[in-house]
Structure 1
Amino acid sequence: MRGLGRLVGGSVWLARLAVLLGFGVALPFVVAPLEAEQQAWVAVGGLLVFTIGSLVPGRGTLVFLSLLSGTISMRYIYWRVTDTLDYAEFWATFLGTGLLLAEIYAVVALLLSYLQSLWPLDRRPAPMPEDPAEWPSVDVFIPTYNEPLDVVKPTIFAAMAMDWPRDRMNVVVLDDGRREEFRAFCEEIGCGYMVRPDNKGAKAGNINHALSRTEGEFVLVLDCDHVATRAFLQMTVGWLLRDPGLAMVQTPHHFYSPDPFERNLASGTRVPNEGLLFYGLIQQGNDLWNAAFFCGSCAVIRRTALEQVGGVPTETVTEDCHCSLKMQRLGWRTAYLRLPLAAGLATDRLIAHIGQRMRWARGMVQIFRIDNPLLGPGLSVTQRLCYVASMWHFLFPLPRFIFLTSPLAYLLFGQNIIAASPLAIVAYAAPHVVHAVLTNSKLQARVRHSFWSEIYETVLALYLLPVVLTTLLDPKRGKFNVTDKGGTLEEGYFDLRATGPNFALATVLVLGLLSGIYGMAANPPESLEFQAFALNTLWVVLSLLTVLAGLAVGRERRQVRERARVGAIMPVGVVLPDGRLVPGETLDLSLGGAAVAAPRPDGLADNVCVTLEIDLGPERVSIPAEALRWQDTRLQVRFAPQNLRDEGNVTRVVLGRADAWVDWDDVREDRPLRSLGEVVRSIGGLFRGNSQFSLRARRARREALARSARAQAARGAP
């Protein structure tokens, strides 16, 4: 441990020294005055330096490219502040100052993201003592409120199946819904069940109530849909035993069901999951600076640390992050293990996704206001910056709205909000944008593809904007809301409730685009007016593409499967009714059934009952099933559990395997141009297939309705 600390500490101090020296050298470049043509040549030179530098592999190259990007962005901001604020009218001053503040926000966010991304700590599991008698006691809390039992059952089954001594593991369902069916189920399977007199403090209060009535040395918190793998505790508790000053080990939140972006967009499965940037990179970067924070679930916490801060805080609706901040102010350390040891259900509707992000935004802004990491005792400079970076991110709605709408100031109202020539704007702004995109593409290659952050933010911005502003003014407003998950959708539809504001924004952007086209046609190409119209028209096209991609997420696709399928290839034996065993392997699994590659025996009747035998480590489990289809070498079965033991075995096979999620981050590397193509492809999904905006689909629906009406008329005729 001390050796690791010396190694990491040395690397950290080298990185700090490199950053300081780099910016010291870069300062003359940042403030050097240049004409637009000279700056254009500097931009070309900077791109050449990036191209050559990016050919050299290694972490040092990423540090250099980040310093280069940061320097160019600082030069842009310096130019904006010193050369572009010469306004003659009130509205130009007002709108131009707003744009400048949004740009300063974006550059600060960019630099903070580099701090979190440059040197991720690749922490490995620490070994447990060889003698299980030395393992500590653990309380496993599963808080729930209004979720259906079918959603919570797999979490309970998997928690009770974790590889840990039974006399030192206490699994407790914390039911704020006080439901008799939950009590009966827990009693039947031997799981703890706890209620409290009231629901004060929501989830945080629920956990605190359970803390006062349990005694385990450590606490594992699992959201009621987060199904743990059998190895969860063995992979995490080792660090807490090795380091007595460690308060918490957090693991990723992985989701085995698709979120609205993955399910609704034509390119949704071709790009990394929205959460992979945070859990696949940012938390590792936080861990380097001892700033990894609690995310509400999938974390093991030392009871002593939790009790020292008075339990989970209830002042904010993101009680998890606030909890780790309080612990770290007292000197406790935290850790992040980039190993998915549980999987849950993603939000399956866009409107639910927006509601969840509204709570996150409100909570992080609440912390920023009432317990700002930049103030108060107990944190290092880098810890403060890492915490602030996560809160700073959720201030994005207003800057994002400004970026999307700024070209309309000129195109619709004739207001020039950057007091500079179009050539100068391109010469200074283009390097800033291009280097930010290319550098992030290098840093985030496998966790976030280019241009998708802008789309994610655009989907949320207009909904989060009033939440962020009101919370900044009054941080005590708002309450904890439970996110709905699970369900089916018989017919697809376009969710205007979730996309209405962006639909209106897209309409205004189209008007701006038409104005820009007219302005270019009405002015000679060599005139400044033509150049200004051209520049703002290009800007509004980029804004419109981003908004259209956000609208495409609102095309809710038909979803008839009640259970999400996961890919899993492993040996399986299919036991036939006559006792014969047909060897095969699984292709995919769900809590409802499986697809199996196995040759169909001769003379076998359809829809027979079979038994699947699957090896789980040293144990072989048997799951009753019904063969729905068996064509050639592909068998489709529906699980038919006969008792609770069978239900538990289904959960263990599908979601509880130790290696269930090892491929969670298996995505191709980013290429900006290809990523831009994926954005365009997703926009095209608005107008293809059975989309409500597809002319072909609308014609087919009209014809189907006409045929149905004719058929009804024919049946009613004498």
Structure 2
Amino acid sequence: MNRYRAYRQRGARPFTAVVLSVGASLAWVFLRLDSPQWQRLLRNWRQYYPQLAHKRPSLGDPLRGLVQTLWLLLLRPARPARGADLKRGKGIRWGQRLGRGLYTTVQRVRLPLVGLMRRLPRLIGRSDALAQTQRRIKASGSTGERVFYWTLAVVGMVIALLCITSPFNLYAQLVFVVTLGAMALLMRYMPGRFPTLMMIILSITISCRYLWWRYTSTLHWESNLDLILGMILLLAETYSWLVLILSFIQSVWPLRRPVLALPEDRRLWPSVDLVIPTYNEDLSVVRTTVMAALGLDWPRDKLKVFILDDGARASFRAFAKEIGVGYIDRHDNRGAKAGNLNHALEQLTGDLVAVFDCDHIPVRAFLQLTVGWFLQDPKMALVQTPHHFFSADPFEHNLGSFRRKPNEGELFYGLIQDGNDLWNATFFCGSCAVLRRAALDDIGGFATQTVTEDAHTALRLHRAGWNSAYMRIPLAAGLATDSLAAHVRQRIRWARGMVQIFRMDNPLLGKGLSLFQRLCYANAMLHFLSGLPRLVFLTAPLAFLLLHAYVIYAPAVLLLLYVLPHMLHASLVNSRVQGPYRQTFWGEVYESVLAWYIMRPTLVALFSPKRGNFDVTVKGGMNESDRLDWRIARPYLVLAAFNVVGLAFAVWRFFYGPSNEYGTVIVSSLWVIYNLLLIGAALAVAAEVRQVRRFQRVPVKLPAALRLADGHLYPGLLYDYSDSGAGIELESARALAPDTQVQLLLERAGREFVFPGRVMRSVERQVGISLAELTVQQRIDYVQCTFARADNWLGWSDSHVPDRPLRSFFDVLALGAMGYYRVIEYAPAWVRLPAMPIIGATRWLLSFFPRMPRPIPSDSMKSTT
């Protein structure tokens, strides 16, 4: 009975509590429940029994609990992860072993090797022979040192060339790929950049060998159909190989540029014109950005804020006058955003120009952390900071991965831009950046020839000999696209614009750029040509299954020995280099979602670069109910149908085709299944989840207090806020009636600010407050106490789950299956009703399967987002 009450107090439903208490009683008789492992199990049963934690009781629950208990007995018990452990990957990596004996055996072999690899750099560094060799090289002078390293490079190139081009038989190829794979698996545990470089070299070697083999041994020259389709696939693979090599160059050595301090004498600080261009956005979106800009820590006489209104709206003019900022409008809209900025430049006089999109809210320290480089380097033209988003993009919102997995843009702003900075090739991204006015005048202002004026402006600055910098600190935050359709439109514009630049101002040609600047720009532009190659990969196995065409004319076993190592090495390197910014295999999901839509605009731009108009990205929208965007999903459904037909043909070929083609049929079928799951992932993203908040809430932990009308003060913690309200958790429970007038107390820079509001909801210690009745000055103070805090967005990614390639692979596969379930869920009744019994039965059977426990971070942030 005591155990039953304990489970009820922890939130278990009556039937579930009975099951758990009976199970605990039996375990008490036969097992040692006083051990720490079992005590942990009792305290955290929701994490260990996820299939029972949030469901209504049913007759099958005892069997589910028994199966899960037996499964847990085969696993090493693990405690819930703490925040520090999440960064090291502890507490969430559950050993999926069949038993303790096997696990212990594997660990006895693995741990010494891992420890050796982690100590190896220090052991090599203390080597006397290595030290003597280094002293001899330095003693030979600069010429001798250069000769040594050039000799080493030439020898390495010769060895790599032999490894790439030497013909191997089946067993030699097996030994070769196993050896290099083992080296890569061990090196991934070695700290430092040198092992990363070695893993990249191994990956390039394997990939080049695969491509060499494809060009020399896998084309069927005796069949025109096989040759044409095979060449199409081979060209797509060559494109992917080229992008892979360029991405290694671009991101191999992030610069991590430090902040430069400003002079103590503020008279030496430059004057800044901060501009906020807008066209058709709502005033509620622009208002917060302008109010935050007014609070920047910069001398008042050296900072001017301007709204650049391309819509020439009276309400914006009145708001600018009321709040005390400049207002510049125009009526022709020529040149879109770039034209708007150039029109404003004619009326600006500052030394620097800071540009913010109307939804990007700067923190108060933005200028203090970026302007120092302009004083250090007279040729510095651009300092760019990340585009950080406090709202979920369509992938995060529709898949429920917000702040658990890196979003689509984090790879670019977290790694690629930092890698570009090493080569003085930082891109201007149109917002959250500071530019030198003299540099803009030198190139004739912002570029207007393409629809991506930002990247084209940066290219022109670099051609003119100006420098750029990237500060990898999030110093502003904005709204992400709120629907997949808006996200696709934005990416179409980016893709069209980058291809336009590639045609009209090709970075590989012309003067003014270094070799690595050309490669960085070329990679960014080639990346947006991925639509057609991705569609080729999604349909390539159908060539054999439907048309009996050999796109890869080679035995299936040999294909596996070349393809799998190439994929394994690329995944390992990407996990090591890109892991904190993009989880393995998720890049394929992003590309699959966009492939169909960016293919046509990029191909058109290649042949007719002047076509296409600037399209403003609409943000701040709402979605009243869950739905599937059938218009966006249509091409994915067609691709899925073709692949299902191909899978049916695979079954027919396996039973009625020649026996010597069984291996090819199996490999093609696995490829089709993988493609179907990628397409399913795209369909999962197209299922729009309900979004009814007009103002996005930002999770936070800030000291705050609540003052009632009678003068009583209740301290607490601000746990979220938005433009129109806030949530506070009091130290003790306090029942407050709705519409009760209260005052919210916040602190900034040693000052206390008071904001009147009224209670919208009150549940135990949590109180939701509406702040809709603030004065203009109070709203400015509120924005600067919340959105514009200097440390506002630091540590935002600490809650990301560490990348594990194998786990990420299965996550993507599960996401693909969920996509098809969502299609059926939102399909018309004549499709949904016949399918739902089958899906229901499948889900019921799967509910009895054991599940891996879900460790919950002990320091997870409370959020109502």
- Aligned partner of 2:206 among 63, 72, 81: 72
1:439–1:602 distance in 2 versus 1, CA, 3 Å: closer
1:274–1:252 distance in 2 versus 1, CA, 3 Å: same
CA drift at 1:604: 5.0
Within 2, Cα distance between the matches of 1:663 and 1:370? 40
- Aligned partner of 2:729 among 584, 587, 597: 597
Within 2, Cα distance between the matches of 1:103 and 1:604? 64
SS of structure 2 residue aligned to 1:418: coil
Q: Which residue number corresponds to residue 546 of structure 1? A: 678
Q: Which residue number corresponds to residue 40 of structure 1? A: 174
Q: Which residue number corresponds to residue 810 of structure 2? A: 677
Is residue 22–residue 67 contact of structure 1 (8 Å, CA) maintained in 2? no
2:592 aligned with 1:458: yes
Q: Which residue number corresponds to residue 7 of structure 1? A: none
SS of structure 1 residue aligned to 2:457: helix
Q: Which residue number corresponds to residue 107 of structure 2? A: none
CA drift at 1:41: 2.5
- Aligned partner of 1:244 among 371, 375, 378: 378
What letter corresponds to residue 637 of structure 1 in structure 2? Answer: I
Within 2, Cα distance between the matches of 1:171 and 1:637? 31
1:267–1:342 distance in 2 versus 1, CA, 3 Å: closer
What letter corresponds to residue 746 of structure 2 in structure 1? Answer: I
For structure 1, which runs of at least 5 residues remain unmatched after alignment? 1-11, 703-718
2:420 aligned with 1:286: yes
What letter corresponds to residue 678 of structure 2 in structure 1? Answer: T
What letter corresponds to residue 108 of structure 1 in structure 2? Answer: L
Q: Compute the RMSD of aligned alpha carbons.
A: 2.3
TM-score (normalizing by structure 2): 0.77
Is residue 622–residue 692 contact of structure 2 (8 Å, CA) maintained in 1? yes
What letter corresponds to residue 505 of structure 1 in structure 2? Answer: L
Within 2, Cα distance between the matches of 1:654 and 1:503? 44
1:16–1:410 distance in 2 versus 1, CA, 3 Å: farther
- Aligned partner of 1:202 among 330, 336, 342: 336
Q: Which residue number corresponds to residue 783 of structure 2? A: 651
Is residue 251–residue 298 contact of structure 1 (8 Å, CA) maintained in 2? yes
Of structures 1 and 2, the larger Rg is shown by 2
Q: 1:592-639: per-residue Cα shift (whole Å, max 9, x none)?
A: 222211045667544311111111122222222211222222112222
- Aligned partner of 2:714 among 579, 582, 607: 582
Q: Which residue number corresponds to residue 90 of structure 1? A: 224
Q: Which residue number corresponds to residue 485 of structure 1? A: 619
SS of structure 1 residue aligned to 2:207: helix
Within 2, Cα distance between the matches of 1:16 and 1:405? 45
Greater shift, 422-431 or 171-180, is seen at 422-431
CA drift at 1:293: 1.1
Is residue 611–residue 625 contact of structure 1 (8 Å, CA) maintained in 2? yes
CA drift at 1:368: 0.7
1:545–1:685 distance in 2 versus 1, CA, 3 Å: closer
- Aligned partner of 2:640 among 497, 506, 524: 506
SS of structure 2 residue aligned to 1:594: strand
CA drift at 1:150: 0.7
Q: 1:255-291: per-residue Cα shift (whole Å, max 9, x none)?
A: 1110000000144553211100000000000001111
Is residue 588–residue 596 contact of structure 1 (8 Å, CA) maintained in 2? yes
CA drift at 1:437: 1.0
2:292 aligned with 1:147: no
Is residue 687–residue 822 contact of structure 2 (8 Å, CA) maintained in 1? no
1:483–1:503 distance in 2 versus 1, CA, 3 Å: same
Q: Which residue number corresponds to residue 716 of structure 1? A: none
2:752 aligned with 1:620: yes
Within 2, Cα distance between the matches of 1:260 and 1:17? 51
SS of structure 2 residue aligned to 1:621: strand
1:21–1:147 distance in 2 versus 1, CA, 3 Å: farther
Q: Which residue number corresponds to residue 742 of structure 2? A: 610
Greater shift, 659-668 or 54-63, is seen at 659-668
Within 1, Cα distance between the matches of 2:767 and 2:735? 15
Is residue 735–residue 762 contact of structure 2 (8 Å, CA) maintained in 1? no
Q: Which residue number corresponds to residue 565 of structure 1? A: 697
Q: Which residue number corresponds to residue 211 of structure 1? A: 345
For structure 2, which runs of at least 5 residues remain unmatched after alignment? 1-145, 837-865
What letter corresponds to residue 656 of structure 2 in structure 1? Answer: A
Within 1, Cα distance between the matches of 2:810 and 2:276? 42
2:668 aligned with 1:536: yes
Identity %: 47
Within 2, Cα distance between the matches of 1:471 and 1:448? 29
Is residue 516–residue 537 contact of structure 1 (8 Å, CA) maintained in 2? yes
1:567–1:605 distance in 2 versus 1, CA, 3 Å: closer
After TM superposition, the structure 1 = structure 2 runs for residues 290-301 of structure 1, keeping only pairs within 5 Å, are: 290-301=424-435
2:565 aligned with 1:408: no
Is residue 151–residue 225 contact of structure 1 (8 Å, CA) maintained in 2? yes
Q: Which residue number corresponds to residue 555 of structure 1? A: 687
Within 1, Cα distance between the matches of 2:780 and 2:706? 19
CA drift at 1:588: 1.5
Name the count of aligned residue pairs: 688
CA drift at 1:314: 0.5
Q: 1:436-494: per-residue Cα shift (whole Å, max 9, x none)?
A: 11111111110000111111011111111111111000111111110010121111110
2:548 aligned with 1:377: no
CA drift at 1:694: 11
Q: Which residue number corresponds to residue 67 of structure 2? A: none
Within 1, Cα distance between the matches of 2:399 and 2:801? 18
What letter corresponds to residue 138 of structure 1 in structure 2? Answer: V
Within 2, Cα distance between the matches of 1:520 and 1:25? 42
Greater shift, 12-21 or 220-229, is seen at 12-21
CA drift at 1:15: 11
CA drift at 1:17: 9.6
Is residue 109–residue 392 contact of structure 1 (8 Å, CA) maintained in 2? yes
SS of structure 2 residue aligned to 1:584: strand
Within 2, Cα distance between the matches of 1:187 and 1:22? 67
Greater shift, 457-466 or 586-595, is seen at 586-595
Is residue 599–residue 634 contact of structure 1 (8 Å, CA) maintained in 2? no
SS of structure 1 residue aligned to 2:639: helix
Within 1, Cα distance between the matches of 2:289 and 2:454? 20
Is residue 266–residue 681 contact of structure 1 (8 Å, CA) maintained in 2? no
CA drift at 1:94: 1.2
Q: Which residue number corresponds to residue 53 of structure 1? A: 187
Within 2, Cα distance between the matches of 1:96 and 1:431? 21
Q: 1:40-88: per-residue Cα shift (whole Å, max 9, x none)?
A: 2222122111112222111000000001101110111111111112332
Q: 1:324-379: per-residue Cα shift (whole Å, max 9, x none)?
A: 11111111110000011111111011011000000000000011111111111111
Q: Which residue number corresponds to residue 470 of structure 2? A: 336
Q: 1:571-593: per-residue Cα shift (whole Å, max 9, x none)?
A: 00111111111111111121222
Within 1, Cα distance between the matches of 2:752 and 2:152? 55
CA drift at 1:649: 2.5
SS of structure 2 residue aligned to 1:568: strand
What letter corresponds to residue 371 of structure 1 in structure 2? Answer: D
SS of structure 2 residue aligned to 1:293: coil
CA drift at 1:112: 0.6
What letter corresponds to residue 568 of structure 1 in structure 2? Answer: V
Q: Which residue number corresponds to residue 305 of structure 1? A: 439
Q: Which residue number corresponds to residue 709 of structure 1? A: none
Q: Which residue number corresponds to residue 526 of structure 2? A: 392
Within 2, Cα distance between the matches of 1:300 and 1:18? 43
2:580 aligned with 1:446: yes
Within 2, Cα distance between the matches of 1:523 and 1:355? 45
Is residue 624–residue 641 contact of structure 1 (8 Å, CA) maintained in 2? yes
Within 1, Cα distance between the matches of 2:823 and 2:775? 43
CA drift at 1:699: 7.0
SS of structure 2 residue aligned to 1:622: strand
Greater shift, 476-485 or 624-633, is seen at 624-633
1:13–1:201 distance in 2 versus 1, CA, 3 Å: farther
SS of structure 2 residue aligned to 1:404: helix
- Aligned partner of 2:157 among 23, 27, 30: 23
